[in-house]
Structure 1
Amino acid sequence: MEQFIVILREPDGRADEHAEQDMKEHREKWNNWFVKYAKEGNLVGGNALSLYGKMIKGHNAEVIDDIHKVGTEIVGGYLLLQANNLDKAVEIARELPVYEFDGYAEVRPFKIYN
C-alpha cells in the first residue's frame, strides 16, 4: 500500500451562511466517511486546519500574520490515506463531503525522504 496526502481546499466558510439542518447533515456525512475508511484501513490520519496562522516568505524569511489564501479560498484541512495506487486514492477522495459547499480536493503521493 502507498500513502497519499489529500489537501482540502474550500471557500472560507466564515462568510457563508448555511441552514443548521444542512450543516448537521454535512457533519454526519463527514463522520460516516471517516468511520467507513478508518474501518477499511484506508484512513491513516488527517485534521481540519485553523483559520489563524503565520506565513514565512521570501529571501529574508519575513513573517506575515495571516494564512495562505487565494481570493477567499483556503486550505481547510488534510487527510492521509493509504491505497494500492493513486487511482484508488482518488476513488476514495471522490466520496468526500467537501464538494457540497464548493470545496475541492487534491490527491498526491506522500513521499518520505530519508
Structure 2
Amino acid sequence: MAEYLAVFRSHRDTFDTLSTDEVQGFNRRWEELWAEGRRDGWLLDASGALQTDGRVIHADGRVTTGPLVDEGDVVRGYLKIAAGSLDAAVEHAKGAPVLLHGGRVEVRPFFDGHPGE
C-alpha cells in the first residue's frame, strides 16, 4: 500500500460568503469523511483547518506574505491517504467538502525513500 497526500485549496474568501449553517454543514461533512477514512483504514493523517494568512520563505532568504498559491488561492489543509494506486487515492479524496465550494484537491504520491534514489 502506497501513501499519498491530498492537499486542499480554495480561494481565500470562500468561507466569508457562507452562512453559519453552511459552515456547520461543511464541518460535519469533513468529520464524516474523516470517520469513513478511519473506519475503512485509508486515512493515515489529517490536518486541522489552516488559517489564510502566513508567510513564504524563499530560497534566497526573502520572506513574503502568503501563502497565496495562485490569484488568492490558499492551502486549506491535507489528508495523508493509504491506497493501492494514485487512482484509488483520488477516489478517496473526491469526498472532500472543499470541492462543494469551488475548491480543488491535489493528490500526489510520496517517494519511497528519498527523491532521486
Give the TM bin, normalised by the shorter chain. 0.7 to 0.9
For normalisation by structure 2, the TM-score amounts to 0.85
- Residue 98 of structure 1 is matched in structure 2 by 98
Q: Distance in 2 between matches of 1:16 and 1:56?
A: 27
Counterparts in 2 of 1:1-114, with a 5 A limit? 1-13=1-13, 16-47=16-47, 48-58=49-59, 60-114=60-114
Q: Distance in 1 between matches of 2:93 and 2:14?
A: 24
State the shift of 1:112 in Å: 4.4
For normalisation by structure 1, the TM-score amounts to 0.87
Quickly say closer, same or farther: Cα 1:39–1:28, change in 2 above 3 A.
same
Aligned residues with identical type, % of pairs: 27
Aligned length: 113
| Contact residue 51 and residue 76 of structure 2 kept, 8 A | yes
Q: Distance in 1 between matches of 2:14 and 2:106?
A: 22
Secondary structure (helix, strand or coil) at the match of 1:69 reads coil
CA RMSD, Structure 1 to Structure 2 (Å): 1.8
Unaligned runs of 5+ in 1: none
| Contact residue 6 and residue 81 of structure 2 kept, 8 A | yes
Quickly say closer, same or farther: Cα 1:104–1:86, change in 2 above 3 A.
same
State the shift of 1:14 in Å: 6.6
| Contact residue 15 and residue 23 of structure 2 kept, 8 A | no
State the shift of 1:15 in Å: 6.6
